[in-house]
Chains A and B, each alone.
Chain A
Amino acid sequence: MTFERTIRYSIASLLGAIIVVAARVVPRVLTGRATVVDREAVRQVLGFLSGTAPASALTTFIYGLAAAYGVIGNAGSAEAFQSLVLPRLGGAFIQFVIPFAIANLVVLKGVVGMTSDIASMRVSQEVDAIEAVGLDPAQMVFAPRAIALIITAPALAVIGVYAACLGAWLVSWIAVGAGFTEFVSAYSSSITSGALLLTVTKLAITATAMSIISGYFGFMGAKAESGFVGKITTSAVATAVFSSTIVNLFLSLLTAAFQLE
């Protein structure tokens, strides 16, 4: 059984489940023929987005506040800030701050939620029951949550970049009286579609890696009954934090090597 489980919940199988379910969900939902699994996927996406969007907006808003406060203090003058720093601020956020902030949110909320969900479904025998009726738990339980994570992370990046803009403008307005329209225009000038696409792709890849880690730990973690869910979740988060850093580093090196930034 262990060997069977290892194959069923291997990285390749989990990745396959994501692809299979994603390929089925979209056409079925669009044509109004959504199945139980499809409805679960949609429910997960909406739930994850609504659960993380406020936290993401608030976090990046605070990053924006803090960054603008620090930058204005060091710019020397309002003119120097507006002419030299502001036009580069959006680009810096999208390249360095947003991927980090969103990846942290994805790791914390996504990995914790997903791993503990799957592990507790094992304890309550929901996973067994899904197998018993002939469904694949990787498709029924894991894939909808993974798809939610993969769709939501890039969406959060877009929300985050403008929440950060709002935070930075608020400080600039108070400190140097920056007008909102001019500020947004200057801030956005360095956000190229290429940079945005790169960040969105990075986050989608990070979210895929995080969801596979969650799925693997959730399904494969040893079932030690007492404290099982907590132990598995802690292990998954520790692995995810480490892996998120490695994935980000690898993607940054890759984009630098191909001069994509």
Chain B
Amino acid sequence: MFQSILRNDYRSLENLGLAFRKHDHQTAVLLCLDHIFSQEMDISSFSVHDMAHFLPKFHAYARLLYQISIFSDPMEHQGILRLFSIMQLPGDEFLIRNRTFLYNSATEKCQATALVSEHPSGYKYSRRNVTELLRLSIRTVLKDKVLAVNGMCYKSPVFSQCLTFLVTGSCPRERCPQAHVPMLKLDRMYYNTRVAIHIWQILILQLLYSAHPDYDRQDRYVWR
């Protein structure tokens, strides 16, 4: 796994992720998926079938992030301690090592640093504060990633089909923002796949809303 990460070999990371999922090795799955979804992505040219392949994977990733963010006592979970390179110190304190994800995240969130004490190799936290830091950081990642994908879906043509093209076989618009699908492709499977990608997108956004209950959800009732 680490070799694939170093080589940026996303295909083998995907297969590894699937294999880890079968063995219920959640933290390893998260590590694989996190590398896959941290690369530069462009899903705007995806076809409906590419999208139907992409969104379930992204949902699995977002769901893992969400699950970690609601863990009742993550510091009791050895897998999480290893994944985030957290070291337990005597006196129920925890060390966040330099240059780790949580260290950077703590440095960014300046108000959090007030609650910690310095340590030669990082920050020292109480159990309560490190749990809070972990939850906050994971929720931020979840929000950023989900909003980025949502923005890309917004631009993707597959969520709406060009009617002019469908009826006449051609479309005079330059850079038509809607998908041009040949009539022959439109079967029952195609219809159901299109409905399914909408539902995936709803499930993904629901994870964001669950992790951020204060997020403004008004936009989903606006009927245009």
| A is bound by B | no
Report A's interface with B, CB cutoff 8 A.
Answer: none
